[in-house]
Structure 1
């Protein structure tokens, strides 16, 4: 079989091949502009849906997706026809007829469009409500539920959604309130009263309609006052019984509750208790020395130095404590 015969056979099977033609820059520019326009129209339609203009957005998406194939065919035909220098009038007339049909469909009345997309828009609205419930956006979900009732007349479904949202809102809010109140109580137990009051006020701002947290900051203040009174009573009892260590500890705990004016009388009383305790230790130290109870004298002397390091008595004890310790060791 000759080469000519082979070429004829190939042409018969696959059609006569056409030479590859170059597309001009102007044609590429038209293609690029058309693509950008359709992309912008699609993005604008999607944004309209996200902003709540569902009907207009869906219509825009439908038109873009419907007209895009037609535009592609027209552009391809135009590029191909331009490259050949010819045009196919029959194909163009058919495309023109199809385009006119699509335009006629796009000119439907608003009522017709609403009927056409009604079920789809309703399903989209229900999915949006479910998303808001999942994200705990209760107010946003309620807005969509009202739209579902008013626009689509789904009264029973809307009421079911409302009950579900209110129940979920109550459960979530109740758990959050319990955790917040527990945090306030932990701060009170640790004695961080200022932080507890600030946290209580924060809880009241977050849950203004919850009765459980109403006046929570005042309750913290009341507990703080009760605790202060208990510490004062404990201090007075310790001072009365001459328990210097306990009295000083209570005074230290009271320091954060008292103003300087309130603290001064208590400090004066504490100084009296401390002086009395120091004098008692001094008397015990002297008696131990007189009785030659060196070990006991050494222990009392060390206590005087530890508790009253800056007193004159402590200085006197330091002068003799080494000798007392040696005698205590010698007696063992």
Structure 2
């Protein structure tokens, strides 16, 4: 919608007023001219009518100019507001991208034993199962040793060695079935990148199997099905006003939508992010008023991460030193006998 149309009543009123005043001005000028021509002795009265007509026309023009200036100012304000929303959305996407990049880096660099042990363990176990599917038994044995020695899971390592021994005895058909089960597990967990890597490996391992050849298309089909489900859930939560759920779905949809699909959701997404920001602002204010300073700090930091360019974020940033001091004093008062 054109931002000039946010106040159609103002444009209509100004146009109507201008037309009315111009009509009155023309009528007065015409009457003055007619009276002067009819009776030159009434020239002063005629001149007065003409002057009044010109004044009315000038007043109409002046009011129209003022209204136009107000409309232009309003349009500029709405454009600035939309620009700020675009910047806020861009910042949110950048924060989310940075967060996703950090997580990916942590998972791909597991051998350095840094960041999150649980994610390292999950990635290691997935890699072992992938080695089973590829029949890379030497790599599988090495990784199982890592699981046992570095992570301290001897019982699970023993189970995986038993599973590896069983798989080495499988027939060709059983190996394909096992690979398809592994593929299905990855898709159900929405691990699309790992599923694609498995497809590439399986196509080299079982080049003549039609079921393996159809897996790339199966990935795209299931990924699109999952995206459509996310979109349906998002539309439903927006209709029901479930801000928290809609916000979560939007963050997940961000990894699936094309540029045109994202543009179609732009207006509703703005509404959701604005509602989420206001909701977090209310939670922050309530926590402060109830003197739950630790909770207020947690909510405030989360809001600053989600909406770093918002007015709320700047205000909370200024309040954080004072809140931390009050939280420290509150904690000291609790531990005193």
Smaller-chain TM-score bracket:
0.3 to 0.5
User: Considering only CA atoms, is the larger Rg found in Structure 1 or Structure 2?
Assistant: 1
TM-score for both structures, normalised by structure 2: 0.37
